[in-house]
Amino acid sequence: MNILITGGAGYIGSILTPLLLTSGHRVTVIDNYKYNQSSLSTLFLDKNFSLIKEDCRNINILENIIKEFDIIIPLAAYVGAPLCNKDPWAASSINKDSILSLFKILSKNQLVIMPTTNSAYGSGNKNNYCDENSELNPLSLYAKEKVEIEKILMERQNSISFRLATVFGMSPRMRLDLLVNDFTFKALNEKSIVLFESHFKRNFIHVRDVAATFKIAIDNPKKFVGEIFNVGLSDANLSKYELCELIKKFLPDFEIYKSNTGKDPDQRNYLVSNEKIEKMGFKPEISIEDGIKELIEGLKIFNTKPYTNLH
């Protein structure tokens, strides 16, 4: 397949791009290299790899090349509530406006596989439980715009939506502002953490398993097209406190403090079912425990915290 990935040099893209090349696909990445990353620098010997250093909001660039591609994976985004709140105009221009412009120039024969977010569930139902049929209750600008885009996406006849859990793990374009990565970094370097609303639960998934999900859909599109899937670890619906306790198993000096006075700016709190995609044969390979062990080893090379989307 001839595949276009926007934001392909980012946290997920720098894992997904080489995976798809190894599988024999031709991959073109559009990325503006906002973070000066070198995450795809080893791929230029591969004749099936192309890079366009450009902002995906430049619709003129896309119009000139879009017909070449069988599959489009729009990864470029301002990801997460804090970043979107910091610059809401830029967030909307890339998370919503650029995607709407992209949809307008696609043919019905081109497959779009898009990461959305399970943060769209907000706080779930009265039991905080969510599956793909649950009512959506997005709380942040990021989640609200992902919900809006997903609705339009699924009106196309050739689309797949993956509602990703909170992603974790090492990547060539590392991010330390994701919850598991952030907490593990704090455990290593600060030896303590203060948790606000520590009972709030989320679901988690390793970045390599996210990439594997896209590959499975590309390999078996007829099984996935027209559907929405939660993508997460079914045994990793964890509260922030439970996550810290897991990290403490590997770093016993990690001190965990609960605060009864502060309020978490991210009010998500839900339990997510991933049964639908598991029935399609997808089984995540990396547990949250193995991901934490990977992070403990990998994060030793970082003595500062520049690897974030928030600087």
Neighbours of 272 (CB within 10 A): 28
pTM of the model: 0.94
Could you state, in chain order, the average pLDDT of each consecutive group of 10 residues for the chain (311 residues)?
97 98 97 89 97 93 95 92 85 93 96 94 77 90 92 95 97 94 95 92 97 97 96 95 98 94 74 96 96 96 62 49
* 31, 120, 144, 223 from 149: Cα distances, Å: 20, 12, 9, 22
- Closest to 166 in 3D by CA, of 37, 49, 290, 80: 80
Give the distance from CA 23 to its chain's centroid: 21
What is the rounded CA–CA span in Å between residue 86 and residue 275? 35
Q: What would the pLDDT profile of 33-52 be if each residue is shown by its tens digit?
A: 988 889 999 999 999 999 99
pLDDT for position 241: 97
What is the rounded CA–CA span in Å between residue 75 and residue 95? 10
pLDDT for position 85: 83
Q: Three-state secondary structure along 73-123? A: EECCCCCCHHHHHHCHHHHHHHHHHHHHHHHHHCCCCCEEEEEEEHHHHCC
Do residues 286 and 209 make contact, with C-beta atoms less than 8 angstroms apart? yes
Residue-range domains of the chain with CATH = 2-168+204-231 (3.40.50.720)
**Contacts with 114 (C-beta within 8 Å, 6 or more apart), sequence order:** 73, 74, 99, 149, 150, 153, 159, 160, 161, 162
**Contacts with 98 (C-beta within 8 Å, 6 or more apart), sequence order:** 56, 57, 59, 76
Element (H, E) at 166: strand 166-168
